[in-house]
A and B are shown apart, each in its own frame.
Chain A
Amino acid sequence: MSAQAGITELLLAYHGGEQEAYDRLFPLVYEHLRAVAHAQLRRERGGHTLSTTALVHEAYLKLADVARLDVRDRAHFLGVAARAMRQVLVSYARRHRAEKRGGGLEPVDLDAAELAVEERAEVLIALDDALTRLAAMSPRLAQVVECRFFGGLTEEETAQVLGVAERTVRRDWVKARGWLHAELAGTVAAD
């Protein structure tokens, strides 16, 4: 079975709310995005870096048989992709940090670009940690951030994924970012 057929079937099954379908869907999407991230995001200097939105939507077109799927299926896929994207990027960040700390190499004369990269890694990690704490309190707020920031989804798409109104998404985004600001301000500064 091609990956495409598999994912399409799983999306259709997920339609009915099967947790199992999600569990089987996630690794497939994750794998795709991981590979794509590796290939596409490796060009540091390219002015044509793809946005997350493009990556996620492209993943949908590549992985799913869109003719058989409706708007809701697409929304499900995007939700999964957003989470997968988060995991992919945060994993890079953690790996980067682990390498820096555990590599046994003395960091000598890091150039500005290197420092900037390190900082980005830290931001992503802090963001991920904070999102996890947020999710424990309010799952939907965390999901909004996941969809909007990590998934690059629009408000409308996010609303579809979460099954709420667009204005709820807008309000959630405000609250979530506020909460994250309050959280991150302390964390990032402490480093």
Chain B
Amino acid sequence: MQSMTPERWQQVEAVLDAALDLPAPERAAFVERACGSDAELRAEVERLLAACAAPDLVPEESAAVFAAGLVARTAEFPAVGSGRADAAAPAGARPERVGPYRVLAEAGQGGMGTVYLAERDDGQFRMRVALKLVRRGLHLDDQFVRRFVEERRILARLEHPNVARLLDGGLTGDGMPYYVMEFVDGEPIDRYSDGRRLSLEGRLELFCRVCRGVAYAHQNKVVHRDLKPSNILVTASGEPKLVDFGIAKLLHDATLYTGELPVPTLTRTGQRLLTPEYASPEQVRGEPVTEASDIYALGVLLYELLTGRRPHGRTGRTPYDVERAILEEEPTRPSTAITRPSAAATPRPPARGTHREPTPAEIAEVRGLSPERLCQRLRGDLDAIVLTALRKEPERRYRSADDFAADVRRYLGGQPVLARGDGAAYRLRKGARRHRVSITLATLAAALTGLGVVLFNRYRAPDAIVPGPTRRVAFDAALELDPVLSPDGKRVAYAADVGGAMRLYVKEIGSERAVLITGGVPGYHRAPRWSPDGRHLAFQSGGVIYVVSASGGAVRQEVRPEPSAEWVAYPAWSPDGRELAYVQDRVIYTRALAGGPHGRWPCRRGTRTRSRGPRTARGSRSSRGIQPSPTANPPWVAPSTSATSRPARSGSDRSAAGSRFASPTNDHST
């Protein structure tokens, strides 16, 4: 069908409006007069007039009613991964049966869904199981189902006393995935240890058994990826069992896929899908996850079991801060973590229901010691063991969970501990060792093959960028968001979550290889913006705007907004690439990359100027953002609330060559 420009439409609409104001019999004549010699205009108006009078093709009943049958017959599709689904979901959603299992009771809420106590109900024998039902629907294309089945098959082969067995799994009639695990009647390892006031030896012994389970899985090429106390349950007989192997990753990927329009998956305060405190530096960087990441997590676990604190997390710190600490700060030695809470070490989040942080006295008490004695015991060998596992470089950690446990046993046996050696014993790799390919979805996803998603969905104006037919860029749509084409049309920048952290990547169109661009920057990265010369990307993370080279490498520049905020909106480039602008509290700030004071442009609702810059389809959110306006005054246009920026005080326009707006020395204060 013909697509009209807005200007043309205005003409058509003007005549149409006037005609509709007239009684029906007079319209035809009016239109003829009004359109004069413009036959095309007349045809348009007449066509529309007829359509206005015709019976509706827009359904009579309300949309929801119209769609009811459709919804009933279509599998549920994914939700925004905000984790607040429980607040919004309708009540009483507990299913009675899932596949061949009968649901008995709700056992708990996991990150991804609800865990039920269920019973197999096929007449032959009754077995109690833990049934985990994904609360949100998943995109059920062939590829996903195949992956899900494959992953499940691999995990089902794991059989070990310290690993909760995956028994079964499938899709319900509604298309929701579920999986069934051996029901572990146990407590999270931290609560178990504190509740029974386990001594250090007791905790270390427990820990060794956890390591056995992890080592077994690693030997079978399965990485857990989400080791933390709530995923390690200890039974009454004192046997720890690992739960939620690999599944966390599988479901995490799937919930990011939303169908047509990208929808932000996290709210501003950031409900992380991966607990940042347990994430290894390479996970935070967005690099592939390996066994070494599990070793790191074991190190954090041991740290917590021994000291009651975590190496980096701190209540009140944002996930951004935690990630930064993981990347950049050295963890406090366990022996000093208890008595110096003001240092990098942090108090553990308090037990549910309380708000108080445990004091050093309390921490020591549940370990059967005095605070001084506890610090003394931790000093030396245990410090060294824990810190070895927490090394930032994966190759410098314990090579395997077995090695880790072996060193702990040496300590328990009074023997010299290898961690305190000169490190030669931990020359773990001869040269650069390639990470073994582990069967996690991270690996599968990193291949970035699969569902083809047209880069430009129909919500982009066709004159946006590339001439010629729309190119098809293959993405794994489960992971990737915010694709933006480079100015030269040869590369695309996008946000993706490969290892549990949202990072930015650049890919050549037509190639399968993607370059990780923002690995070293903590936080949650979205909405990359190409510089006009295509050599840099700007984005915001944790309230700071970063400029990075589009070919990867160190961060070129950081722009810290003033006043600083936790979140800053829409960095945008000036046309000459020399300035960045961002919005904060209805003020547009500009900052020259070469330095200098920033400009301030308070916004107010002004006249609706239609930007003649890059066009954005009104219904689209994917290309929102402030843009340089074509005129120098106002120099920036803010998005669809139709606010336009005006300088607080008009000054002379001292534009530098190529710059489209007043220089920053025209600073204005309110």
Q: Which residues of A come within 8 Å of B, CB atoms? A: 1-4, 6, 16-20, 23-24, 26-28, 30-32, 34-44, 49-53, 55, 62-63, 85-87, 89-96, 98-99, 102-104, 113-114, 116-117, 120-121, 123-124, 127, 129, 131-133, 135-139, 142, 145, 149-152, 171, 174-175, 177-188
Question: Do B459 and A132 touch across chains, with their CB atoms under 8 A apart?
Answer: yes
Known: A26-B263, A114-B73. A39 touches B90 (CB 8 A): yes
Hey, which chain B residues are within 8 Å of A123, CB to CB?
59, 66
From A1, A20, A37, A62, B71 is in contact (CB under 8 Å) with A37
The answer to whether B64 touches A85, judged by C-beta atoms less than 8 angstroms apart, is yes
Contact (Cβ within 8 A) A35 B79: yes
- Cβ-closest 5 pairs across A and B: A178-B52, A3-B87, A32-B88, A52-B62, A52-B64
28 A–B pairs (Cβ distance < 8 Å), ordered by A? A3-B88, A16-B586, A20-B583, A24-B267, A37-B64, A38-B71, A38-B137, A41-B71, A42-B72, A44-B68, A53-B62, A85-B63, A87-B261, A91-B260, A92-B67, A92-B74, A104-B142, A117-B69, A117-B70, A131-B619, A136-B618, A138-B6, A145-B58, A152-B64, A175-B52, A177-B58, A181-B58, A184-B57
Tell me whether A63 and B73 are in contact (CB under 8 A).
no
Across the interface, do B65 and A19 meet the contact criterion of CB distance under 8 Å?
Answer: no
In angstroms, how far is the closest chain B Cβ from the Cβ of A139? 4
A25 to chain B, nearest CB (A): 10
Contacts of A40 in B (CB 8 A): 90
Rounded to whole Å, the gap between the CB of A49 and the closest CB of chain B is 5
Which residues of A have CB within 8 Å of B569?
19-20
Q: What residues of chain B lie closer than 8 Å to A113, measured between beta carbons? A: 69
With both chains docked as a complex, state the minimum distance between the C-beta of A91 and any C-beta of chain B, in angstroms.
Answer: 5
The answer to whether A41 and B68 have CB atoms under 8 Å apart is yes
Given A31-B88, A35-B85, A132-B458, also A41-B67 (CB < 8 A):
yes
B residues less than 8 Å from A42 (CB atoms): 71-72
Q: How far is the CB of B54 from chain A (nearest CB, A)?
A: 6
Contacts of A91 in B (CB 8 A): 77, 258-260
Which of B195-203, B398-406, B637-645 is the contact stretch? Answer: B637-645
What are the residues of chain B within 8 A of A6 when measuring CB–CB? 84, 267
CB atoms of B586 and A99 under 8 A apart: no
Contact mask for chain B residues 32-55; partner A; CB cutoff 8 A; 1 contact, 0 none: 000000000000000111011110
**Distance between Cα atoms of A173 and B621 in the complex (Å):** 24
Q: Are B583 and A19 in contact (CB under 8 A)?
A: yes
| With A23-B621, A52-B63 as contacts: A96 and B70 at CB distance below 8 Å | yes
Q: Is the CB of A135 within 8 A of B88?
A: no
By a CB distance below 8 angstroms, the chain B residues around A171 are 17, 20
B577 shortest CB reach to chain A, Å? 24
> Judging by beta carbons under 8 Å apart, are A120 and B6 in contact?
no
Question: When each residue 449-478 of chain B gets 1 if its CB lies under 8 Å from chain A and 0 otherwise, what string results?
Answer: 000000000110100000000000000000
Check if B63 sits within 8 Å of A150, measured CB to CB: yes
Complex alpha-carbon distance, A152 and B4, angstroms? 28
What would 14 more interface pairs be, CB under 8 Å, given A19-B640, A113-B69, A182-B51?
A4-B87, A17-B605, A19-B570, A27-B82, A28-B267, A38-B71, A63-B88, A95-B259, A151-B63, A152-B63, A177-B51, A178-B53, A180-B58, A186-B1
B458 close to A129 (CB less than 8 A): yes
Please report which residues of chain B, range 619-637, place their CB below 8 angstroms from some CB of chain A when the two chains form the complex. Answer: 619, 621, 624
Within 8 Å of chain A (Cβ to Cβ): is B5? yes
SS class, residues of chain B in contact with chain A: loop
Interface size on B, residues (CB 8 A): 82
Q: Is the CB of A136 within 8 A of B69?
A: no
CA distance A6 to B344 in the complex (A): 31
Q: Is the CB of B54 within 8 A of A181?
A: yes
Q: How far is the CA of A135 from the CA of B569 in the complex (A)?
A: 25
Judged by a CB distance under 8 angstroms, whether B56 is at the interface is: yes
Which among A41, A50, A90, A99 has the highest number of chain B CB atoms within 10 Å?
A: A41
Distance of A114 Cα from B74 Cα, bound (Å)? 11
Q: Is B652 at the interface (CB under 8 A from chain A)? A: no
Q: Contacts A6-B267, A179-B48, A181-B51 known; A94 to B65 CB distance under 8 Å? A: no
- Contact among B13, B140, B142, B621 for A138, CB-based, below 8 A: B13
List, in ascending order, chain A residues with CB within 8 A of B20's CB: 171, 174-175
CB within 8 Å for A31 and B57 given contacts A41-B67, A129-B458: no
B65–A31 contact, CB under 8 A?
no
Q: Is B3 an interface residue (CB 8 A)?
A: yes
A114 to B: closest C-beta gap in Å: 7
**B422 proximal to A (CB < 8 A):** no
Minimum CB–CB distance from B231 to chain A (whole Å) comes to 26
The distance in angstroms between the C-alpha atoms of A135 and B80, with both chains bound, is 25
Neighbouring B residues of A49 by C-beta, 8 Å: 64-65, 68
Smallest Cβ-Cβ distance to A186: which chain B residue: B1
Q: Which of B334-354 contact A (CB under 8 A)?
A: none
- Given A2-B87, A171-B20: A178 in contact with B64 (beta carbons within 8 A): no
Chain A neighbourhood of B16, CB < 8 A:
175
Whether, in the assembled complex, B122 has its beta carbon less than 8 Å from a beta carbon of chain A, the answer is no
B76 at the interface (CB under 8 A from A): yes
Question: How far, in angstroms, from A123 to B52 measured CA to CA in the complex?
Answer: 19
B89 within 8 A of A: yes
Q: A91: nearest residue on chain B (CB-CB)?
A: B259
A30 to B13, CA, bound (A): 33
Please give, as numbers and ranges, the residues of chain B lying within 8 Å of A44 by CB-CB distance.
68-69, 72-73
CA–CA, A19 and B259, complex, Å: 23
A178 B62 Cβ-Cβ under 8 A: no
Check if B216 is an interface residue, CB within 8 A of chain A.
Answer: no
Measured CA separation A177–B60 after assembly (Å): 11
Q: Most A CB atoms within 10 A — which of B6, B76, B638? A: B76
Instruction: Give Cα A124–Cα B61 distance, bound, in whole angstroms.
Output: 13
Whether the pair A99, B69 counts as a contact (CB closer than 8 A) is no
Q: Which residue of B lies closest to A20 (CB)?
A: B569
Residues of chain B with a CB closer than 8 A to A152's CB: 62-64
Chain B 9-39 interface residues, beta-carbon cutoff 8 Å to A? 9, 13, 16-17, 20
Residues of chain B with a CB closer than 8 A to A1's CB: 269
Q: In whole angstroms, what is the CA distance A19 to B569 when docked?
A: 9
Across the interface, which residues of B come within 8 angstroms of A53, CB to CB? 62
Least Cβ–Cβ distance between A95 and chain B, in angstroms: 5
**Cross-interface CB contact of B65 among A28, A52, A136, A174, cutoff 8 Å:** A52
Which residues of A are found within 8 Å of B1, using beta-carbon distances?
Answer: 133, 182-183, 186-187
Query: Is there an interface contact between A175 and B638, defined as CB atoms closer than 8 Å?
Result: no
The reply to whether the CB of B185 lies closer than 8 angstroms to some CB of chain A is no
Does B361 belong to the interface (CB within 8 Å)? no
Contacts A55-B64, A85-B64, A114-B73; is A31 near B79 (CB within 8 Å)? yes
